[in-house]
Structure 1
Amino acid sequence: MTDRKTSLFVELPAPEAADLAVRAAVEGVSTPELLGYHVLKGAYGALHPLVVAFETRPKKGQAGKE
């Protein structure tokens, strides 16, 4: 598998686009990376290697009591 990527143009209603941008920021990833994850998961399922890699990546933890 190569690291080649292709860009796609996506048109979304403004509220949904803003929501996805906020979700990406909360996840700590770029908006295109989050959109790519959703496209791959929707088209190829939860077992696609890039979907699995995205879901198992290290994530920010929640700060708790110290």
Structure 2
Amino acid sequence: MTVDKTHLAAELPVPEAADLVAESLRLGVSIQKYVGYHVLKSIYGALHPEVVAFGEAHLGNTREK
């Protein structure tokens, strides 16, 4: 299944933005993808399919059976 995506701008304090950039670099993902993960997790929760997929791919999360 292909999901259309869009980019949104976020206004953040400089230190917090720097932390997000540093963590995205550590994980090897784009800042857009990393911020998108946090936005979706914040709004829709940890069980949103995109949040679950990101966690499995980049954070070592596994699905409970």
Identity, in percent, stands at 56
Extract unaligned runs of 5+ from structure 1: 60-66
Tell me how many residue pairs correspond in the alignment.
59
Q: Which residue of 1 aligns with 2:33?
A: 33
Between the aligned partners of 1:7 and 1:25, the Cα distance in structure 2 is 19
With the length of structure 1 as denominator, give the TM-score of the two structures: 0.80
CA-based RMSD of the aligned residues comes to 1.5
Q: Which has the higher helix share?
A: 2
What's the CA shift for 1:2?
3.5
Structure with greater contact order relative to length (CA < 8 Å, sep ≥ 6): 1
Secondary structure of 1:34's match? helix
Extract unaligned runs of 5+ from structure 2: 60-65
**1:3-58: CA deviations, max 9, x gaps?**
21122110111111111000000111010100000000000000000000000115
Structure 1 runs (4+) deviating above 2 angstroms are none
Change (3 A) 1:45 1:58: closer
Q: Which has the larger radius of gyration?
A: 1
